[in-house]
Amino acid sequence: MPAELGDLDARLRVLEAKEEIRNLLQEYRRTLDVRDMRAFSALFASNGTWTGASGTAAGPEGIYEMLTAVLPENPPAPGSTLWHLITDPQIEVDGNRATARSLWMHVRRGDGDTPLLPTLGSYEDDLVVENGRWRFLLRSVSRLVPDDPGEKG
Amino acid sequence: MPAELGDLDARLRVLEAKEEIRNLLQEYRRTLDVRDMRAFSALFASNGTWTGASGTAAGPEGIYEMLTAVLPENPPAPGSTLWHLITDPQIEVDGNRATARSLWMHVRRGDGDTPLLPTLGSYEDDLVVENGRWRFLLRSVSRLVPDDPGEKG
Amino acid sequence: MPAELGDLDARLRVLEAKEEIRNLLQEYRRTLDVRDMRAFSALFASNGTWTGASGTAAGPEGIYEMLTAVLPENPPAPGSTLWHLITDPQIEVDGNRATARSLWMHVRRGDGDTPLLPTLGSYEDDLVVENGRWRFLLRSVSRLVPDDPGEKG
């Protein structure tokens, strides 16, 4: 490929990476909300790590085991179904590695069938290309409100 | 156009499509919030369909007629003005067709001039290029909270 | 550069501009939330203007002076820490100028260590390239709820 085409191609790859990472962040949210924890854990690299209030686990199988052990069911209506809202992320791409930062809120069906927003938190992500796809290398889930670690949010 | 240029062009078209679709989703929100229902209905393809709690209608004129018949006014302050917050969408582009998924919340000026978030819902979209512009072929608006279909949210 | 390459390059520049502007909007939010007002004010062009409930100021130094004079501290937990949630923006790029529109909400740690969303507002932005980077030429911050200008939100 001529040099000028190679330059355009490299710039396109950065933009495509950002779009794929946006989709990855949404897939995390979607699979978590519907409790498809097999699809959820496959969003992590083979040595990818999830760390948050539920603990720390590595690799898709380890993450699957830990989260299915501690995550409550997500009952449909009229249950207190829980969704995640995530904000537009900040993404930095450097070749086959990237970082992303975003905020999230829980939205829960509360008493009287009205929305409650009981939790605000942040995601800090390291991302990596594995087998041609962007995957989480490290997702750190922090809760900002409530601050008290004894609360489950 | 040489093959390599054609490949770059095709990849650019996908990225441009995603940006245009993001803008379309925002225009839907914006025109709805200011009750510019002519501009709103023009966001649909000639055979585009809107389906939700207010019913189902097809084509810009049909959608305009149905929604102007049922949508309440959106009174300015100090009225209970209603806005839509929409989340970053998941978009898949396949040539001149695409799909998008996003979440939305109502934000309303409540008693005491404070924000209320009374409703959570989702959008499921099929999109199509018509006359060179991305348009809704089908927008399905679902309400998640409240679940009770008797509630107007 | 051949004409066809120049066309691809121009289209890439528009997409890259949108990504850089998204990052700029997020940096505004992030630096404001952590009260890094030096980094915050550097997001404005040399003749860039901030206008909102706190007044109007021009240039990074003027904006820094005005906002540090009026902005309250943002105390960590268990204080009433304040964050900004911003929605996916609508961005229009025209060469080295652009416009953007988005909505924002305050999220505050309220009584009982639970999230409160006391304010809804909008951003209207004019943007410009200065020294190769996108910067705010004019950011107009409007509060939608509460509407009463006597309220601090």
- pLDDT tens digit sequence for C15-58: 999 999 999 999 999 999 999 999 999 999 999 999 998 899 99
Helix (H) / strand (E) containing A39? helix A37-41
Nearest neighbour of B16 by CB, restricted to C15, C103, C146: C15
Q: Backbone phi, then psi, for C132, in 5-degree steps? A: 80, 5
Is residue A121 predicted with pLDDT exceeding 50?
A: yes
| Backbone conformation region of residue C32, classed left if phi is above 0, alpha if psi is from -120 to 50, else beta | alpha
Tens digits of per-residue pLDDT, C79-138?
A: 999 999 998 899 999 999 999 999 999 999 999 999 999 999 999 999 999 999 999 999
pLDDT category of residue A3 using cuts at 50, 70 and 90: confident
Nearest-CB residue to B85 (from C87, C89, C119): C87
Contact list in B for residue C89 (CB cut-off 8 A) is: 26
Task: Report the CATH number of the B3-151 domain.
Answer: 3.10.450.50
Point out which residues pair with B105 in neighbouring strands. B85, B120
Q: Residue A79 and residue C61: Cα distance in Å, rounded?
A: 53
Strands (DSSP E) contained in chain C are: 44-52, 55-58, 82-86, 90-94, 97-109, 115-130, 133-145
Ordered by start, the domain boundaries in chain A are 3-151
- C119 CB neighbours in chain B (<8 A) are 115
Average pLDDT, stretch B14-24? 98
The DSSP bridge pattern shows strands A97-109 and A115-130 to be antiparallel
**Interatomic CA distance for residues A64 and A140, integer angstroms:** 16
The tens digit of pLDDT for each residue in B27-81 reads 999 999 999 999 999 999 999 999 998 899 999 999 999 999 999 999 999 999 9
Which residues have C-beta within 8 Å of that of residue A74, sequence separation ≥ 6? Answer: A33, A34, A35, A81, A82
pLDDT reported for residue B152: 46
Q: Name B140's bridge partners.
A: B51, B124
**CB contacts, 8 Å: B109 with chain C:** 144-147
Residues C53 and C143: beta-carbon distance below 8 Å: yes
Query: A interface mutation test: which of C27, C29, C85, C93 has the most A CBs within 10 A?
Result: C85
Q: What is the pLDDT of residue C103?
A: 97
Mean pLDDT of the residues in chain A: 94
Length of chain C: 153
The ipTM of this complex is 0.93
Q: Return the minimum-mean-pLDDT range out of A126-140, B91-105, B112-126, B139-153.
A: B139-153
- The answer to whether residue A151 scores a pLDDT higher than 80 is no
Q: Please tell me the predicted confidence (pLDDT) of residue C150.
A: 55
Return d(Cα A66, Cα A57) in angstroms, integer.
7
pLDDT grade for A128, boundaries at 50, 70 and 90: very high
Over the Cα atoms of chain B, what is R_g? 17
Residue C146 has pLDDT above 50, yes or no: yes
Tell me the one-letter amino acid at B64. Y
Asked whether the beta carbons of residue A113 and residue B144 sit closer than 8 angstroms, the reply is no
- Do the Cβ atoms of C144 and B83 come within 8 Å? yes
Question: What's the angle, vertex CA B84, arms to CA C138 and CA A144, rounded to 5?
Answer: 80
